[in-house]
Every structure is written in structure tokens, then in C-alpha cells.
Structure 1
């Protein structure tokens, strides 16, 4: 969802939650250790829980879940602390592991850095088999390092192109109805040209430029272009030869060529007010767009640059503090958070795709035949962060403690390319900077 002033609401679009300074994580001196000193404990007693403060509706759902959990049994008492959303990641980063809570929330791409700095413990031995089995494959992919899971989410995220059927039809533009028949990059460009011919100012596309391409929106929103071209942000610990491939360079040159069609969208209303026919953004804009367009709203996949259409995914997740002395109780609470009642309540509050199979299948928005089925279909074909081929769609941002550097450098490159810089030079520069940082930090290896 987007707030009334068109600024991103963090929790409804976790992809944009990373507008907060992930770079702060990069400053952390990682110990490179793994699996700190979490102890199972008795499974009873009081446990502390940290979460980020987001929309009032989400906060209310979480507070209600805690109250319900505490009243449902007498063995465990949860004490919830909501921390300011804009400072949440910085707070966890700055807090010693021994002073972190038993259970904590974290944004997906920050997980590996927290594991690297010994702030999270594996959850596999503490959440139930039922909970792990009910998590979607995409959610599990985001939370896994080296065969161990450090987090599971209540909800996920996804990208698509919203279309205005009335404007598309008026321009004679045929559009895809599923991932299987996604536009090619050339077909997408042709659609923009056709729409321009029927548009008074020639601006036919919104890419949420107002979010800032140099920030996390740049990576979440447009790394799919690199993946769809057969490239990657990182492969086998290296950016050179992955991020700067000829195909990735060509794909971002195409992206650069679309600028002439883009409405800067400074007021956040370009699509809702019919100024453009297409909007490249995430699931969170559906409520606003659906209200504005009604039956004229169509939901389309991102274009295919040769390796199949791709989307970003990943969102906030729950994990166990590495120094907890009561991991059994922590796991019991996470089990409760991830039950159908709580996941359904949370995803109704924020509009995100549920990250459990049962809640996803029952969701009015995301179920088969629902208006946002496309996002569920994409998440049903997860790539993880390494096996990015034509058979999968939803790609996890690189699961590495060096992610803050990757997203900072890619965002810089994307923004400069959009501004007219040579794509080959910009991507090569970004790849060199990423690899230098990884070399300086021994590859951010987590044993």
C-alpha cells in the first residue's frame, strides 16, 4: 500500500522497507561466525519480542496476536516491544547480541548480515514441522543459509505491471494475461510506443521513480531486468561476470530507452489519475489502483528479456535471537504467529501475499481466480538466489552479509544509467566495487 501522500508505507511493501539505510549494516564488522549460543531452555517463562512499528492496522494485528497467545496458555508470557520502523534495522545492528530479544523481526535481505554477526540462531529445531512444512517455498528460500533456516515470514511480496484496460484497448495494445505469455522486452517497448501515440504528453509508463532508483526500490524493482536477461547481482561470490554480462548491459540499455515514456510521478497519482496506462510496481498498490480503476485494472507480469519473466520477492520475517536461553518458547511463539488466523489477519491488514500455503490458498486476493493470482503464481515458482533459470520466476535478493554493498552499488549504477550513463561502464564499475568489498571481507563467509 501507499500512503495518501504517495510515500511508501514500509510494512505493506517490505520491498520498500529497505529505503531505510541498509548501508548501516555494511559498516558492521562481521565476525564471520555462525550459530551462536542459543539454548533451548525449558520452553516456559517470559520471552521478549521485538518488532518494527508499521501501519496502525499491522501493529494492531500483532498486538492482538500477542494478547491472544498469552491468554491461550499459561506456560509462556510474551512481552512485545514495538520499535520505530525507520530506525528498526539500525537498532538491531547497533545492539549487542546478548541484549537482543528472544524473538525478533527482521527484513529479509538483512538476515545474512545478522547471522554473520552472530545475532540470529537457526530456527529448525525450535519451530514445528507443521510450521516449516506450511511455509511457502519462496519464504523458506529467503530464510535459508547453508541448509539451515534463520527466519520465516507471515507475508511475502511481488512485482508486476498494472495496466489500464481502457487505455490499452484504445491504443490497440494486446497485453499478457499470465506469466506464460509475458511480453518480451521488444513487445513491451512496442506497447509503450503505441500508447504514446494516443497520449497527450507522450508519458505512458510509471516506474515509481518517486521512490528513488538509487535506493532499495532500484534493486528490488529492477534487478528483475538483470535476472530476466540471464545475469545476476552475484554469482559464486562474484559480481564481475554476473552483473555486467553483455545481456545485462543490453537489457539495461533498453530500460534506459524507456525514460522518454516515463511520467516522473512526483505526486504518486500518475496511474490512478489515468495519466499513464502502465505502472511497474508491487502488490502494495493494488488497493489504491483497484479503487481508482475498478474493472479497468489488469495485472500483468514484468517483461521477458530472454531468461523468462522475473520478480523480486522477500519480506519481513521472524527469527530467534542467537543468545536466547529459551529458544523452545521462542519457537512456540513463532508457531503461533504463523498460524492461519494470524497470517490471514496480517495479510488482510497490509494486502501482502501470505507466506504460508494454507493462508495463500484461501486468500480472496491471491487464491486461484483472485484478482492478484498472478503474484501467487510467481511466488509458486521460486528461484532462490542462485538457480535463476527460465523455469522459475520469483528471485530472492542475494542471501549474503554483503548485501548492503550489493544493493548500494547496483542502485547507484541503475540511477546513473537511467540518467544517461553508459550501461556497460556503470555495471562494470558496480561489479568491481562489489567484488572489492567482498575481497576486503573474505567473501562474507558464514561457516
Structure 2
């Protein structure tokens, strides 16, 4: 009788002792610091509760998108996937991921900056922990030697002033090419780095009210002026069209480097207090920079959406955002998270980059057609660098983008403005 009673008690205890339900997660394989930070966040979540267990699988970055597409076709996607934020609308449109509402409570994401959110047609589909920002790097001593002022958030360089500064630096004979624009980079760099120049001039890659109209924005007078400004940098030999390497700033061969905050740690170590980071030039409407990096979403086929949402809510707590920034050096996407870091807290030595993200950041167009947009814009800039007039190059980009949108039936956006169609 006593033996039977013990067995009965054990049976009642089974649900309590049951193993946690596994939540499969895919992410792209990246640098050691980011991978270690990701594993640590997962371990903290798994230790914090006993209901769910996140299990990570790293996929080579070169085949990551193809792996997601292939897995989706055979309904083998994991519950949680990492995505580069500009691709989120395409993943949503293709049906790979689901809206995060009501799974993720609004309070969990209320404090996130623009760079911490991924949307499509007004709905939230992804959240992230960190961002990178664009900045104009130089050295205080080098600027002072030429009598050039240091630009500030209160008084950035105007586009015209910046060109004059570059011309003065070249004329000094100290710099053959005074500005490095990462000319060896390919792909997304061009839209990330230079479409903010369009936004600073008051125009854009596409009309964000309807995500269908490109003509009259990407090729209007303001856009053409930006394109010609870009082309003149090469024509006046202020920027090297095809750099031999990517070490010009480190080696003192350029006065300025326009690049991302992924260089902050390296440049801070090399130059110390001599390093200055300034806003990008102002084309009339204030400096602008690209926003958002890799983020997390929940797949439509996920059988444990509640567990996946619990993990995402964990990731965007101030404590986890702060930990991710401390581990990687990347810019946190909430004020509360920044306050928990040495570098980005108020008064921290890298606080400026957080302020750039808060004040200047603009996410790339939230359209499934963005990859085609980015490709067309990259081609236009390549043509401009090679001597084609900006008006012609941008007209060709407009035609290519609008053709892509029409071929895909507007990517779910209604024909007459607004954001029609099913989510």
C-alpha cells in the first residue's frame, strides 16, 4: 500500500519535472564577440525559467537566406530566426515570419529606438538589441594643422562646407585623397551609407506613404544634386575611385573616413583622445544615418510562439541590451540599456554614437522590394563614379525599381497610397 502511494505521488510530480520544451533558433555565423554574446544571452534565458529551452544553430552567412527559403518550402524552419533588418519586410511578405503582436506586449518594445524594430505595413515583425551608426572620423591634430573646425551635432558641416574642407586638405599636399568612402565595399554599403544623403536633402529612395512611387523622389532635383555632389567627389579626386586597400585612414593617408561605428574600438585604441567622430554632412534637412542591424523574428510555422516571444521579450530587456553592448561594443537600442554600459551611458566616452542613433537614424524603406531598390541604387552610384550624369543614372534606377514593384504587384501595398493588402 505504501509502495503504491509513492508511485502515485511520483506520477503527480511528472509534469513539474518534465524537461523544458525546445525552441529552435537559427542565426548567421558571425564574429566571435557576437556569437559569444548570443550564446550567453540564450544561457541566461534558459537558466531564468524552466518551461522553455532555446537551442541555437549557426548557419554560414553566405548561405543563410537561401537556407531559410529552402527550409520554408519544406516547412522545416525553426521557431526563431535572425534577420538583417532591411530584409524583414521581404521575409514577412514571403510568409516566413509572423507579426509579433499580440505575442510581444507593447511595453516590452516601447523604449526601443528605430534601430531596434523591423516593420512591414505598420506591424512589428522583429526586434533587435544593437545598432551601428555612421560617422565621419578624423584626427583632432590633423584638422588643427590645416585650420579646419571640428563639426559637432550643434553645428555639422554643410555639404558645401565639407567639399571646401576636402578641397583645402587636398590643396595642402598632405593628402592625395582626403576622404575614404569605403570604396572597396560592395552591396548594401551603398544604400546604407548614401541613401541618408538623399534623406538629408529632403528626398528618398521611395515614397514611404505608399511604397510604390519612386519617380519624383529618387530622381527629383534634390536627389540629382546629391548624386552630382557624390560624383564630383571622384571627379575632383577627393576620393579614390578604386582604393588599393582599406587602411588609408589608419595609415594617415586620408583626413576623413566615412564609415560605421564598428571601427570605434579599433580607432579608439590607435588614436586615443586624438580621434574625433563627427556627424555626416548636412544636405539641407539635417544629418541622417542608416538605422538597424540584425534582429530576431518568429516564424509562421512555429509551434511554440509563446516560448519564442518569451525569449524575444528577454532579449530586449535593458539588462540584456546592456549585456549585448558590453560584449560586442555595438550601440544599444534603448536608453535604459545604454545606461547599463560603460561606453554609452550619459557621460560615457562613446555616448556620441548613441546620440547619433537617437537623433539622426532613419530605417531603410520597409518594403519587400528593398533588395531590388538597394541594388538599383548601388548601380546608379557605380555609374556616377564612372562619369555618368546623375540625372541619367537615377532615372535608370527609378525605372528598374518601379518595374520590380509592378512585376510583384506592389508587394502587398495598395495602388492608391495607403498600406493596403493582407499582413
Per the normalisation by structure 2, the TM-score is 0.88
Whether 2:185 is the aligned partner of 1:208: answer no
State the 1:278 CA deviation: 0.5
Question: CA offset at residue 201 of structure 1?
Answer: 4.5
Report what 1:112 is aligned to.
89
Provide the residue aligned with 1:395 in structure 2: 362
In 2, Cα distance between the equivalents of 1:80 and 1:201?
A: 48
Partner Cα distance (1:253, 1:101) in 2: 46
Q: How many residues in Structure 1 have an aligned counterpart in Structure 2? A: 388
Q: CA RMSD in A?
A: 1.7
Q: Give distance in 2, aligned partners of 1:154 and 1:228.
A: 26
Residue of structure 2 equivalent to 1:270 = 248
2:112 pairs with 1:127: no
Structure 1 contact 165–298 (Cα < 8 Å) conserved: yes
Which SS does the other structure have where 1:261 is aligned? Answer: coil
Partner of 1:100, secondary structure, is coil
- Does residue 1:229 correspond to 2:207, yes or no? no
**Corresponding position of 2:40:** 64
Given that 2:320 and 2:337 are in contact with CA atoms closer than 8 Å, whether structure 1 keeps it comes out as no
Instruction: Work out which of the two has the higher radius of gyration on C-alpha atoms and give 1 or 2.
Output: 2
Which residue in 2 is equivalent to 1:334? 312
Aligned to 1:218: 190
> Which consecutive unaligned segments of at least 5 residues does structure 1 have?
1-43, 382-392
Q: Does 2:296 match 1:318?
A: yes
Q: 1:100 aligns with which of 52, 77, 83?
A: 77
The alpha-carbon deviation at position 265 of structure 1 amounts to 4.2
1:49 equivalent in alignment to 2:25 = yes
Partner of residue 434, structure 1: 401
User: What does residue 31 of structure 1 align with?
Assistant: none
State whether residues 225 and 252 of structure 1, in contact with CA within 8 Å, keep that contact through their aligned partners in structure 2.
no
Give runs of aligned pairs for residues 126-275 of structure 1, distance below 5 A.
Answer: 126-140=103-117, 143-178=118-153, 180-212=154-186, 215-235=187-207, 236=210, 237-259=212-234, 260-263=237-240, 264-275=242-253
> Unpaired segments of 5 or more residues in structure 2?
1-19, 413-420
Alpha-carbon displacement from aligned partner over 1:39-67 (angstroms, at most 9, x marks no partner): xxxxx722111111111121112112222
Q: Deviations over 1:99-118 (max 9, x none)?
A: 11111111101111111011
- What are the Cα deviations for residues 182-213 of structure 1, in whole angstroms up to 9, with x where unaligned? 1111100011012112233531111111113x
